[in-house]
Structure 1
Amino acid sequence: MDASRGELVLSQPIPRVRHAILPGETRLDLARRMAQSVAFAFSIDPARTAAQPDFDFSAEALVLPEAVVARSRVRGRIAMTREAALIAATGADQLFVYVIVDGEFDVKPTRSGRRLRGGDILIIDLAQAVTLLGADYGAIMMVLARGALPDPLRRLDLHGAEIRGDHPLARTIVSTLACLCEDAPRMTQAQGSVVLRAAIEMLGLALTDVRRTRTAPRALKAMAEALVDDHLDDPALSPAWIAGRLDVSRATLYRAFAAYGGVTRFIDDRRSQQAWVLLTSAGDLSLGEIAARCGYPGRTRLVQAFSERFAVSPETVLSASEDDRAMLQEQAARAMMDAWDRRTGRSER
């Protein structure tokens, strides 16, 4: 073959880089290598990550002319941040595409106010700050130049853009990238590039659709409500936590919920409503389990909040006769309707 014509280069297998725990290696060693592998884009605290008794990490990266594609599996919680100092130090100006294969992911700041789940695709602009929080997840990551996307997408602010898993192209994009990762050992660089370019083209089409359908930014209140409903089980959920996630002041957030009586009241109402649903439909759950699912620090706090909201204790609901339970259901329905009136602005009570 004539190397000057490129046949030898094109016939070479796709370069790969693997990360997994080595014999005799500690979790801290693995966490440090993990942090180093993403240091061009994100900061990770190796000590805090490795302190988790169940922490584990494995990854394989494919290096192609158009992009770097990596498939990873993480056990435990991971926090990855990109702040102004790192942006200035690395000078990276690429797009980071995060495909959630399974598990869940949070992003701050967020455009949608929702937690990302399996099948969702997130676009991060490495020229902007962001924090990613994941736990027990599998993902495919792709770093590509802005110019790899079709015009005019490359000139738009795509930071934080999401392609939801129910988009017609989402599953095909995910499966194409998954097949690329799986079949890379048997592919040449030329074959890998063809598959990757197809995935990027579909990504561009999906982003164009997302841009067309988002005719206006979501209202702050709607985004905050989505965060609350998505994180009811998190004891840290609070006005300050929401304001931080949405990158707004607490005063701005409170104004959005003034008609409701404040953000704290909204959180309390949603938790008590969820507790009612679990209490009356999942009879095999203990009060402690219900408390945990609703974000209460313990059974005692659940009983207190539930009794204040519905004027009846959880134990009374559980032991009520059929006739009494029907009355209690109606009582709860009125309380929930009152909360919905405040939520939609139809009531100032």
Structure 2
Amino acid sequence: MALTYSPDSKEAWRSQGTSVLKCHLNFGHGDPTGSVLRSWRLGDADLIDARFAHMSVSRMREGEDDSLCLKLVRRGVLAVEHGGQVRRFKQGDLILVRGTSSVRQNFIEPAEVVSVLFSPESLKERGLRFDAHGYTVPDHESADVQAIAGMIALVADQNGDTSEKMRRRQGGQLLELLDLLIESPLALSRRRSGEATLFRAKRFIAQNLRNPELDVPLIAAAVHASSSQLTRLFRAEGQTLMRYLLDCRLTLAAELLQQIGVTRLQVGEIAYRCGFSSPTHFSRVFKERYGVSPKEAACASLMTSTDRRLVANQSV
């Protein structure tokens, strides 16, 4: 959305600021025309690529939103006001801002800023807690911080044109990198809560489905938990860990079989891709789950994508 000379443009921008930025926009004395605001989802995060000029941005109300916003200044200067003090950030700087109305962002001259907004829920389920008030500035001399800034810039340059799966993974990666931006463990800490441990275990399983040797001890070690603790956490959700693993593998296999008309994957190859020890075992548990064999499921997929169109054409 671009700010134009239209009489209604400023009001539209204020509305957009409320819905996308979750902030209040105040226009200054200069000409804000040419300001641009674009946004798209990154899984559990939102990326906002914006160009601001002659305006200020602040939260609507204190305590309304406990989200975190990671900001990268790509061009120009961002002046952050908090506690009666103003600090200026230039190109390449990163700032981590808590959802608070006490922080005001001022854009006197045109500036380009990329913001990644993380929801409280996405932080909680990963065991992340941000205790600092106002905003925090990472060490800009750190190679890790520079690498994260480069990653954010690269994602912004993709304009949201990548697949939903890619964007979801990018958002997840940025969430996992948050703790590298804060040196003090008091500012950002990991709680070894059951919820966070369960989340990490499920993520590890999703990333390693192809490994046929996945078992409870291996997964527990990967998420720094005991086998008994992890077993209890999954049982509390109503299923065993290994049953959850099997369900994930079967779901992935069903998705691949739906694509078999395009990819021409053999059923045996799908079995190994999903971490099954043998095609025979895969076929047996797949039929138990879905009521048809993998080959029958693949034929049904081909029928949907090709034969049904032919049948429809013949009936006309």
Aligned to 2:25: 44
3-state SS of the aligned residue for 1:154? strand
Report what 1:137 is aligned to: 111
Query: How far off is 1:69 after superposition?
Result: 0.4
Aligned length: 184
> Does the CA contact (< 8 Å) of 1:102 and 1:117 recur in 2?
yes
- Deviations along 1:13-49, one digit per CA (max 9) or x if unpaired, are xxxxxx124xxx525533322222222532223xx44
1:168 correspondence with 2:143: yes
Aligned mates of 1:111, 1:179 — CA distance in 2:
34
Question: 5+ residue gaps in structure 1?
Answer: 1-18, 214-349
**Distance verdict in 2 for CA 1:54–1:93, change over 3 Å:** closer
Instruction: Give the CA deviation at 1:155.
Output: 4.7
After superposition, give the CA deviation of every residue in 1:281-303 in whole Å (9 maximum; x if it has no partner): xxxxxxxxxxxxxxxxxxxxxxx
1:293 match: none
Conservation of the 8 A alpha-carbon contact between 2:58 and 2:101: no
Deviation at 1:62, TM superposition (A): 0.8
CA contact (8 A) 1:120 1:170 kept: no
Could you tell me which of 42, 49, 54 is aligned with 1:77?
54
Partner of 1:124: 97
1:197 alignment partner AA: G
- Superimposed CA distance per residue, residues 108-127 of structure 1 (whole angstroms, 9 cap, x where no aligned partner): 21698631112222222224
Does the CA-based 8 Å contact 2:5-2:33 persist in structure 1? Answer: no
Aligned-pair identity in percent equals 13
1:185–1:143 Cα change, 3 Å: closer
Name 1:311's counterpart in structure 2: none
SS of the equivalent of 2:135 reads coil
Partner Cα separation in structure 2 for residue 42 and residue 146 of structure 1: 16
* Distance (Å, rounded) in 1 between the aligned partners of 2:116 and 2:169: 15
Which residue pairs with 1:56 in the alignment? Answer: 34
Distance 1:200 1:119 in 2: 19
Contact 2:48 2:114 in 1 (8 A): yes
1:148 maps to 2:115: no
Distance 1:54 1:152 in 2: 40
Paired with 2:30 and 2:77, the residues of 1 have a C-alpha distance of 18
Measured on the aligned residues, the alpha-carbon RMSD in Å equals 3.1
Alignment of 1:172-187 (within 5 A): 172-187=147-162
Shift of 1:206: 1.5
Instruction: Tell me which residue corresponds to 1:26.
Output: 5
Quote the Cα distance in structure 2 between the aligned partners of 1:122 and 1:130: 12
In the other structure, the counterpart of 1:297 is none
**Partner Cα distance (1:116, 1:82) in 2:** 19
Q: Alpha-carbon deviations, 1:53-101, whole Å to 9, x = none?
A: 4632112101233111011122x32212336xx346xx32211222211
**1: CA distance, partners of 2:89 / 2:160:** 30
Distance 1:178-1:152 versus aligned 2 partners, 3 A rule: same
Look up the equivalent residue of 1:167 and give its one-letter code.
Answer: S
1:165 aligned counterpart, secondary structure: coil
Distance 2:143 2:85 in 1: 19
Partner Cα distance (1:105, 1:203) in 2: 21
Following superposition of structure 1 onto structure 2, how do residues 232-271 of structure 1 map, counting pairs within 5 Å?
A: none
| Amino acid corresponding to residue 11 of structure 2 in structure 1 | R
Identify the residue that residue 192 of structure 1 maps to in structure 2.
167
Decide whether aligned partners of structure 1 residues 146 and 166 sit closer, same or farther in structure 2, where only a CA change above 3 A counts.
farther
Asked whether the 8 Å contact 2:73–2:113 carries over to 1, the reply is yes
> Which amino acid in 2 is paired with 1:43?
H
Partner of 1:232: none
Asked if structure 1 preserves the Cα contact closer than 8 Å seen for 2:43 and 2:172, the reply is no
Superposed CA offset, 1:196-250 (max 9, x none)? 222222232122x25589xxxxxxxxxxxxxxxxxxxxxxxxxxxxxxxxxxxxx
Distance 1:54 1:125 in 2: 26
Q: 2:43 aligns with which of 65, 71, 74?
A: 65
Give the Å deviation of 1:146. 3.1
8 A Cα contact 1:120 1:164, kept in partner: no
TM-score relative to the length of structure 2? 0.50
Is contact 2:70–2:97 with CA below 8 Å preserved after alignment?
Answer: yes
Gaps of 5+ in 2: 188-316
The structural deviation recorded for 1:106 is 1.5
What is the TM-score normalised by the length of structure 1? 0.46
Q: Which residue of 2 aligns with 1:252?
A: none
Cα deviation, residue 138, structure 1: 0.6
